[in-house]
Structure 1
């Protein structure tokens, strides 16, 4: 599998899940080529595009409300020929309430202050044994996500990742923001 590098994406002024975090998050999503994937708060579409390239026989739906980000997603979709990617314009909660699809894996990259509601709506859209992966910078959101997933019966794990990279030709390391990757596995016991 070829992972797409940050510099390959068109970016503009939109937030983007950085390469190393994207690769770790995608691996935790446990994607198969026939999976249906949902990306809530898709930003530039980097996770959506990478998922679409893995799920070649499946489908990826990206939800985004920001106009600048939407322009960037459409440009990246075209650049990477991600024909199995559908972009839905709107806020996560509003769009999720109308979606009839169910998904094998869900990624939440942005929630615009509606995190608990979005997780609960995504729970209803996630297939049993599916994974929900969420990325955060703030401890508040980590706590909210883990408590919400726990209350819904998920098996949860949180990984904190710190990345530093050299800049230019020097050996000086520049640190990126630490990121928390929360992964929840939906397991409903059958009677």
Structure 2
């Protein structure tokens, strides 16, 4: 399947379901970097989708605990299938509606990855309340409304060391007889740390 140790698993190696979002390889690299995982970190991957971020983190940090939070049973099963495919035992899938389910997750996070959802600012606030001092949150925005909500949310939470990266990635693709550069999920990646 694969024999390398660096992050950036090719997208086609993951099992997929029609209509279920997948964070593309190049965007995953930026998100993983922003998370700044530690060897024994506990990550909540909220809105895990296909599970690509959970899988990459579980491979990079075998001593970490990754909790993929998904509300849809079929999508949760997809994350389980991908975890099995990549032989990851440090991923747990938690089925529940965010943010209501957060209190039911036994392992509390020091890292949070927020993949979307509405209202995203409310999800950020609720997830943030479970972070300890020094914890980090990373959130993705794919439109201006989400960007504004997340920017306001990090400001209201008095997050420190806030970073915003606008990722515009293009891949060379063949379309008919031509090779063109096609945009890959343009997004904003916001991250911040909890001080107290």
TM-score by length of 1: 0.91
Aligned equivalents of 1:33, 1:146: Cα separation in 2: 29
Shift of the alpha carbon at 1:170?
Answer: 5.1
Task: Point out 4+ residue stretches in structure 1 off by more than 4 angstroms.
Answer: none
Partner of 2:182: 174
Contact persistence 1:43–1:69 (CA under 8 A): yes
Equivalent residue runs for 1:69-148 within 5 Å: 69-111=75-117, 113-148=118-153
Counterpart secondary structure, 1:172: strand
2:142 paired with 1:159: no
The more displaced of 27-36 and 160-169 is 160-169
Structure 2: how far apart are the matches of 1:129 and 1:144?
Answer: 22
Runs of 5+ unmatched residues, structure 1: none
TM-score, L = length of structure 2: 0.89
Q: Which residue pairs with 2:192 in the alignment?
A: 184
> How many pairs does the alignment contain?
187
Query: RMSD of the alignment, in Å?
Result: 1.6
Paired with 1:87 and 1:138, the residues of 2 have a C-alpha distance of 27
Larger deviation, residues 35-44 vs 91-100: 91-100
From the superposition, tell whether residues 172 and 55 of structure 1 become closer, same or farther in structure 2 (CA, over 3 Å).
Answer: same
Question: Contact 1:136–1:142 at 8 Å: present in 2 too?
Answer: yes
Cα distance between partner residues in 2 of 1:114 and 1:67 = 21
C-alpha offsets along residues 92-132 of structure 1, whole Å, 9 cap, x if unaligned?
Answer: 11211323432221100022x13222112211211211210
Distance in 2 (CA, whole Å) between partners of 1:103 and 1:89 is: 16
* 1:2 corresponding residue in structure 2: 6
Deviates further, 149-158 or 65-74: 65-74
- 1:23-102 superposed matches below 5 A: 23-102=29-108
More deviation, 170-179/83-92? 170-179
Unaligned runs of 5+ in 2: none
Q: How far apart, CA to CA, are the structure 2 residues paired with 1:69 and 1:15?
A: 10
